Structures are given as C-alpha cells and as structure tokens.
Structure 1
C-alpha cells in the first residue's frame, strides 16, 4: 500500500466520525506530534461528492492538530477507494480494533520507564495521568500467580479484562477510605487484591446485593 503526500487543505473530516478526544488527551497528542512527528499516515478516500478533495476515514485528530496547531502544508496519506458502506466499516475498525493493554504487562513496561523517567515526565509523554501510572505500577505488588491470572483473563476476552480504576479523593474522603480498608482488613486479608475486594464488598452492601446473596443460600 503506497503512502502519498497530499496538501493538508484538500482533506475533510467524514460526517459520521464517532471518535471523540478529551482536551487533556488532545494536549498529549499535540505534544507527541511536536516531539516525534507524524509517524502514521492518515487514511482517506477520494471525496464522494467533491472532485479533487479527500475524505478522512482514519486519523482525524492527528490531521486536525497537524493542520490547525502545527502548520503542516502537506500530510502523508494512504488513499483507498471505497463506497460509503465499506468506508464506514473501515472507519469503525480503524477506531476500534486497537486492542487493550494487559494490565500486569503494562505495569512492567511502565516500571522499566520509571527507572529512567520521573512520574511528571511519564505523564507528559504517555496517554495516562500520574494517578493511572501509579495504579498500574501498584500491580507489581500483586502476587505473581494473580498477575498471571490477570494476563490469562485479558488474553481470553478483552471485555472481561481487569480494569484499573483511578479515583481522585480529597483529604476527608481519603481518610474514610483508609478507615474502610482497616475495618475490612480481616475479611479481605486472603484476597489477592484487598483494595479491590474491599471496594466490591462496599458496593454490594450499598446495593443490597450481599443480603440477597445470603438469602439465596
């Protein structure tokens, strides 16, 4: 598949784009493009109703930043000839089929980077906030057998993969959370991830699920 350099003003977004990006992530992407350049071409097709123009099927945010923030005149593109149905299918696939990182493998990779970078530097160059990075790094403290279980679950089915939850607490909320962890210590001491087990118990009690489970036994 050939990569062609096109005038950036000849490209237009498609009308069905479902991919949204937060301001924080856009800032990270802009910094990345400034630092590394555009290493992945934009995927386009000849515009279905405008001769000489092209419709973006993949890479809208990178195109927008290169055009509006970085002043690109031309941009590398892969041109495909597709009808509307196939163009929409490709657009969905380009935005969705990127896979999910296996949490414990990502934590090891972040740990390697941590040996050479500070947390602020990691936050500035990676698509994570500092709290998310520290949560991933905390997975290294989980027993090895449980880490293997996480990896197996993630590989078996992406949608069932463990989620890393990041919560920002004020001082009072953090004190309450610590008190809850201490109160639940005896009940969760055998769990591979005591914090997650404590959160599960609190959620079940709040929703009344624990009482339902006891009534069913």
Structure 2
C-alpha cells in the first residue's frame, strides 16, 4: 500500500481559513466600491489571467444560481477574495484554489479583474483544498465527492483514515461514498443529476443489474426502502418488473377530494392530501421556482 502523505494534513483539516490566515483577519472583506483598490494582501488580478483548478472535484454549476450571483456582484461587488496559486506551467497566470463559482459569476457580470489572495501550494494541497471547500459547503454531488476521494488515494497514496481526518468525515462515510464508483457510468449519471440519492445508489449496488434498478427508481419515484425491497426480491430470483410497482394509494373519501379541488382552484397547482393513522401529508406540486415563490407569497401573505 502506498505510504500516507504527511504534507500538512492538520492545516488542511482546518479548512480554507488556515490558508488565507492573517489576510482575512487583518483586512476588510470588500474593497471600496469604485476605487479599484484592493485590501492589503489582496491582489486585483485580471479575469483572463486566471484558470480553473484542473483538479477541482466540482464539475457542475447551477446556471440560474450563477446568474443570481453575477447580478449581486454587479450591484455589490465581490464580497470575498478568491484564493489562487501561480500556474506552474504558465508564467503570469494563476490557478484557482478556492472560489471558482465567484470567478465564473464575475465573468458573467463583465468584470475585468477580481480580488484574489495568492498562495503557493503543491498539487496535493490543491486537490485537498478543492475537496474540503466543496464538501464543507455541500457543493459536490455524491459521484464528484467519490471521484475526488479516489483521486487522493490513487494519486497521493491517501488512506481512508487520512481522508476522513482531512475532510472532517467519518471513515464509514468515506467507504460508503467510494462504493458509488462501482456503479456503471449510465447509473452514475442519475446520481450526478440528482435524479436518485446516494442512498438509492448504494441500495441498488446489491442488485444483479444496478443500472436497471436505478433507472426504475428515478422513473417511478421509489423510496430507498422500496429500492432495498426491490433488490432483495431480485436477488431471491424474482422479476424486477413484478416487484417494482409502488403500492396502490388508498382511495380517498369525498370530503378529501373536495378539499383537494378547492385548494387546487385557489393555488392553481396540483394538490395531494394523504391521510394516515398518525396524521397525514399535504403535497403541493410545482413546476418551477417561480411557481414555488408564488405559493410562498400566498401562504405568508398577511390579512389586513
């Protein structure tokens, strides 16, 4: 087994603040608007001179959220400097250590430069900080997280215990996350896109055909427990199709259907009321964030 790297794991384990250190502690987070001046220790670097981190584990960025951040940057500026290192292969250029989302949004906002703290870090630190930043902020999807852990283990000889210490996760979490890499590529795509959870994916790994199970779970909205039951049945020799149907919903009484119809007229959205022995659920289905925002306004509107 490769030897565990000993390059400053304790510093990385404390997160990004230890890299930025005294700069953030002694200077304001935002330069004066319109002055073009950056706080001491922070450089204004041209957007075109900065490159994304090639080891950045995060591959997907929400375009709508980036546009919102870009609009905020247009009106308020950059509230926190990004962290970069000199590009080892291109003099005068920089690679992002942390803050790629801010850099992308700054480009969308039309900025020519961005405040940045420059730090000299090696390849191991570059990859670890990218993982730590995204894991702590829950920015990675489970597959990206698994691929990042695998890269640290294969490229730098990290053990699962070392990873757990560096990123602040349990050994069990690291092990369970790495198991997702056993999925075929088509099945991983469902997890990347958020169509099924990591729990669904881990449950599906026990099936003779995990990809078919995950596809079925996504299309039929199966719960993790339903996937577990489906996999158990498949292992026992049952047919995937005959065991995949969700249980039929109990028939609703006339009063419940009338209440659903009344709420649907008021909200203009699909409403589903489900009763149970210990209470029930009210489900309102919306198509997009605009509809959700409209429902929230209706529910929080004060009567005069």
Q: Give TM-score scaled by structure 2 length.
A: 0.35
Q: Give TM-score scaled by structure 1 length.
A: 0.47
